[in-house]
Amino acid sequence: MTATFEDKALDITLLALLIISMVLFGLHMPYVVMTMVLIIALATVATRLSWSVLNAFESIEID
């Protein structure tokens, strides 16, 4: 499966959110940053897995 423009845009957006959250909260609330990073990472993994499952079912040919 090749990465589409939407996948790359999603990765860039999530990376920007991670950087902003680390800059804004990192010095004062490290646990908030760790929680946000964990939530974003889990959301990214769940999104990728769900698209993989959907694409797998889409490619099945039924005769």
The model's pLDDT over 19-42, given as tens digits with 9 standing for 90+, comes to: 777 777 776 777 877 888 888 888
CA-to-CA distance for 46 and 5, rounded, in angstroms? 19
pLDDT band at 4 (very low <50, low <70, confident <90, very high): low
What's residue 10's pLDDT?
66
Task: Say which residues have a Cβ less than 8 Å from residue 11's Cβ, sequence separation at least 6.
Answer: 44
Distance of CA 13 to the CA centre of its chain: 9
5: burial class by Cβ within 10 Å (0-12, 13-18, 19+)? exposed
Residue type at position 35: T
- Token duo for residue 57: 């079912």
pTM: 0.49
